[in-house]
Structure 1
Amino acid sequence: METEYLAQEPARAEVDAWAGPTLLEFGTGWCGWCRGAQPKIEQALAPHPGVRHVKVEDGSGRRLGRSFAVKLWPTLVFLRDGQEVAKLVRPQETSAIAQALGQIDPS
């Protein structure tokens, strides 16, 4: 599990070209909702070591977040081969995160 948010976001074309399962997490280190979600995300990710987890610091003027219609933090975007499969906004339950991860990484 990734612990730090990237200050420099990847380009959308780069994200679209990623192979395999990816969890793209939008938020900030100071966001209470984001901090509260971390144990749930970590627990759900544990059985999926092959899933790339990328945390992107989001905010005003950040294009990547806007391209995924991010409005609230944290927003989790589940990708398979660069294509969005599922999205969760402010997830409250580990089971919801685990279910979405199962859609991109059935292992």
Structure 2
Amino acid sequence: MISSYSTVAPSREEVDALPGPTLVEFGTDWCGFCKAAQPLLAEALAAAPALRHLKIEDGSGRALGRSFKVKLWPTLVFMRDGREVGRLVRPASAELIRQELGRLGTVA
């Protein structure tokens, strides 16, 4: 699992062109909700080691987050072949994350 949010984001076109399952996580390293979600993510992602995980810093003027209409952090966008198939905002449990991963077919 990636530990820090990347300040360099791919373009929306690049994300939409990614093949297979992808989790795009929007947040910031200083966000309390984001910090609280990290153990839940680590637990859930342990069952999906091959999943592509993009951890993107979001904020005012950040084009990728705006293109996904992100309002609260963390926002988890579950994608398959460049299309959004699920979304969780401020996930409350690892089980909710696992359920979305299961829909992607990535849980071992």
Question: What is the TM-score of this pair, normalised by structure 1?
Answer: 0.96
- Kept in 2, the 8 Å contact 1:21–1:50? The answer is no
Which residue in the other structure is 2:38 paired with? 38
Equivalent residue runs for 1:18-29 within 5 Å: 18-29=18-29
Deviation at 1:69, TM superposition (A): 1.0
Equivalent residue runs for 1:50-65 within 5 Å: 50-65=50-65
Query: Which string of whole-angstrom CA distances, capped at 9 and with x for unpartnered residues, describes residues 58-95 of structure 1?
Result: 00001111111100000000011111000000001111
Structure 2: give runs of 5+ residues left out of the alignment. Answer: none
Deviation at 1:105, TM superposition (A): 2.3
Separation in 2 of the partners of 1:102 and 1:67?
Answer: 25
Look up the SS of the partner of 1:9 in the other structure: coil
For the aligned residue pairs, the C-alpha RMSD in angstroms reads 0.9
User: What percentage of aligned pairs have identical amino acids?
Assistant: 59
- 2:83 is aligned with what amino acid? Q
Separation in 2 of the partners of 1:85 and 1:39?
Answer: 23
- 1:99 is aligned with what amino acid? Q
Structure 1: give runs of 5+ residues left out of the alignment. Answer: none
Which residue in the other structure is 1:80 paired with? 80
Q: How many residues align?
A: 107
Task: Give the ranges of 4+ consecutive aligned residues of structure 1 lying more than 2 Å apart after TM superposition.
Answer: none
Which residue in the other structure is 2:95 paired with? 95
Question: What is the TM-score of this pair, normalised by structure 2?
Answer: 0.95
- 2:4 is aligned with what amino acid? E
